[in-house]
């Protein structure tokens, strides 16, 4: 296949089919007819001598060839788009760009209040949309511009993606202020005697904390399992259950926060973006704000010492 014989607009349709997996939705998104979409796909199939997408009850499934080239196609389209708007100067104060971020609810709760304050002051017309993208879909979502940035643990390895560390956080144990356990420090026996909250989006299976305890030959008593980190402190504040979670989350609540009596690896976050957005001024600007904001928040201070209550002396 020779590129001069292929209409470059066909690649726009190709990218949209990959993203939406439905020809009707592609037609609506591109404001063209469905027969025009089908015709464009037919021309692409002839040019590449490959089906490119296979129709199934769940949608248009990409072939291995499509999976191999989609990243470079999206990168090329984004470079063309950037070239066409090269003369447009990015001004944060007047930008109306919308950026889509993927992150878990814990990071959302930590980052977005602080980042929203920065944007309100410096880029008041910029919009942010936050979604959660499963880790195995992040590379594809960044390549097809479903999302602009992803924040996740440093487990994603894709040569098409760039990444930057965002700092780390350590875990601690949260108890409500009037919890029956009255000590200032937890021994391992104290910790194991408590009833515990576990945060997991899965229906069953142990979590990170439990895996570390098993290495010590220990097991805690889980009395409640919840899906999201944001609800867990609310439960701990009204029950005798203990919550083990990152300190940045726990310190947002009026509660007792105690050091753990065993070691847990720190929680680390990385920011991911596709290399095709490297030269985009708006993307570069927002990337810097995200890195600065989370890096500053990650500088977690030591836990405050609990003040002992002193009763009145007898008259």
- Residue 205: the pLDDT is 62
Domains and CATH numbers, the chain: 3-84 (1.10.10.10), 98-166+269-297 (3.40.190.10), 171-265 (3.40.190.10)
User: How far, in Å, CA of 156 to CA of 260, rounded?
Assistant: 29
Confidence of residue 295 (pLDDT cuts 50, 70, 90): confident
115-149 pLDDT per residue, tens: 999 999 999 999 999 988 988 899 888 888 889 99
> CA 141, CA 81: separation in Å to the nearest integer?
18
d(CA 115, CA 264): 28
**pLDDT above 90: residue 76:** no
Q: How far apart are CA 142 and CA 297, in angstroms?
A: 25
pTM of the model: 0.69
Which SS3 state, helix, strand or coil, does residue 172 take? strand
Listed range (66-75, 79-88, 278-287, 306-315) with the worst mean pLDDT: 306-315
**Residues 261 and 186 sit within 8 Å (Cβ to Cβ):** yes
Q: What is the pLDDT of residue 313?
A: 34
**184-201 pLDDT, tens per residue?**
999 999 999 999 999 887
pLDDT at 262: 95
Tens of pLDDT, residue by residue over 140-187, are 888 888 899 999 988 888 888 999 998 888 999 999 999 999 899 999
Average pLDDT along the chain: 86
Please provide the distance, in angstroms rounded to a whole number, between the alpha carbons at the two ends of the chain. Answer: 99
Sign of the dihedral through C-alpha 216, 217, 223, 227:
positive
pLDDT of 86 higher than 70: no
According to the model, what pLDDT value does residue 156 have? 85
Rg of the chain in Å (alpha carbons): 25
Cβ distance 151 to 268 under 8 Å?
no
The pLDDT of residue 275 is 87
> Residue ranges of the alpha helices (H) in the chain?
9-20, 23-30, 34-48, 64-84, 105-122, 138-143, 188-193, 208-215, 232-236, 247-250, 281-297
pLDDT at 254: 92
């Amino acid at each position: 296949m020779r590129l001069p014989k292929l209409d470059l607009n066909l690649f726009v349709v190709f990218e949209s089919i990959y993203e939406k997996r439905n020809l009707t939705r592609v037609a609506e998104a591109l404001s063209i007819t469905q027969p025009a979409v089908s015709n464009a796909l037919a021309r692409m199939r002839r040019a590449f001598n490959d089906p490119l997408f296979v129709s199934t009850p769940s949608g248009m499934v990409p072939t291995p060839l499509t999976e191999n080239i989609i990243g470079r196609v999206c990168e090329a389209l984004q470079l063309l788009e950037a070239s066409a708007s090269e003369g447009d100067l990015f001004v944060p104060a007047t930008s109306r760009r919308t950026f889509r971020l993927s992150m878990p609810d814990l990071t959302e709760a930590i980052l977005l209040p602080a980042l929203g304050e920065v944007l309100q002051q410096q880029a008041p017309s910029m919009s942010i949309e936050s979604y959660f993208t499963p880790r195995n879909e992040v590379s594809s979502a960044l390549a097809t511009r479903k999302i602009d940035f992803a924040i996740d643990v440093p487990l994603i390895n894709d040569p098409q993606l760039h990444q930057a560390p965002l700092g780390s956080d350590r875990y601690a144990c949260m108890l409500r202020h009037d919890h029956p356990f009255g000590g200032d420090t937890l021994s391992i026996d104290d910790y194991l005697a408590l009833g515990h909250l576990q945060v997991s989006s899965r229906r069953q299976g142990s979590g990170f904390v439990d895996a570390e305890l098993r290495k010590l030959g220990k097991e805690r008593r889980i009395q409640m399992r919840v899906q999201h980190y944001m609800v867990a402190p609310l439960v701990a504040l009204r029950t005798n259950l203990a919550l083990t979670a990152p300190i940045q989350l726990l310190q947002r609540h009026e509660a007792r926060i105690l050091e753990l009596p065993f070691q847990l690896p720190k929680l680390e976050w990385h920011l991911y973006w596709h290399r095709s957005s490297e030269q985009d001024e708006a993307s570069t600007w927002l990337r810097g704000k995200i890195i600065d904001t989370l890096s500053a928040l990650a500088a977690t201070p030591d836990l405050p010492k609990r003040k002992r209550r002193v009763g009145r002396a007898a008259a």
